[in-house]
Amino acid sequence: MVKIGDIELGEFPLLLAPMEDVSDPPFRAVCKASGADLMYSEFISSEGLIRDAIKSRMKLDIFDYERPVGIQIFGGDEEPMAMAAQIVEAANPDLLDINFGCPVKKVTCKGAGAGILKDIPKMVRLTEAVVKATKLPVTVKTRLGWDDDTKNIEEVAQRLQDVGIKALTIHGRTRTQMYKGSADWTLIGKVKNNPKIHIPIFGNGDICTPEQAKNAREKYGVDGVMIGRAAIGYPWIFNEIKHFLSTGEHLPPPTVEERVKVCKQHLRHSISWKGEIVGILEMRRHYTNYLKGLPHIKEFRAQLVTCNTASAIEAVLDAVALQYKDHIFERTMPPMAGSEGTAIQTERELACGIAD
């Protein structure tokens, strides 16, 4: 049984990655229903929380059906991060996560996110300040290092464990890699198999199939895996991995009817939480991924991103279900955001690891 503090997560938990403009409550709802064991909020600026910024405060919203759920914060200064931790605690999540992995320039140039990988002593001080400021279990998500010459994750893991974190998620790339190339799991495995490490170690990076999750468990020994882009428009990935790990067999891909049903649920959650106008607008980034693999879908997709009412959108989705009711999906890699011109391919939306 993998535990973070007193939170029991099962034998090999599957975590939903915190992704800016993606991992909001509506998206988390469909992922939870599809088997995610632990989920995180979008990353929240510590400075934004202290200023009481509306968008930052809204990201604190969590619901009982999501639990266990963590709220993730980022920042480059100890006092604001400690103050933000206290604000987060008042929102009553199950844990608090610190983002030391976001590679986007506007974050790293402030010494936050992956930017702090240039100053490990400061990283440790900042983590300790957060741990001391809250009674919540504190976890960290980070990368292998700043660049190929500073892959210091083994040292980082021990030092963060020493100041009290309860789990560590490691993305298998450096900051300079951004999201290019393949994730390197070798160092993740070394951290997990270090006899001095006794907290759960979760691996992140390029987990897109059940086979990859199985390989991460068997070859590198990680306690669980964090999944990001493979879940966008394809929340079924969580249950598919669980089924494969327990039986060695694949679940059949979701049918068009199942895809439309979950897409509608996602839309309704989005409208309920954000209001009709914003909920509809922000849902537009997801349709390409839900409908990926359907031939000649361009016309329907164009309608979905121009409709302005929920009833009109649902009517288009019903038309999709009818048009493609006999379509058989091939078993391929789950839909990937940011590829083939999908709707989610901007630096803003890539912030904090939408790639994984």
Q: Which residues are catalytic?
A: 102
* 8 A C-beta contact, residue 210 and residue 140: no
Site of tokens 């990283």: 123
Count Cβ atoms within 10 A of the Cβ of residue 114 and give its class: 0-12 exposed, 13-18 middle, 19 or more buried: buried
Distance of CA 89 to the CA centre of its chain: 20
Sign of the CA dihedral with 210 first, then 212, 218, and 220 last:
negative
Give the contacts of 280 (CB within 8 A, at least 6 positions apart): 267, 270, 271, 307, 308, 309, 310, 313
Tokens 């009709």: give the residue.
276
295 and 330 in contact (C-beta within 8 Å)? no
How far, in Å, CA of 167 to CA of 174, rounded? 20
Q: CB–CB of 333/209 below 8 Å?
A: yes
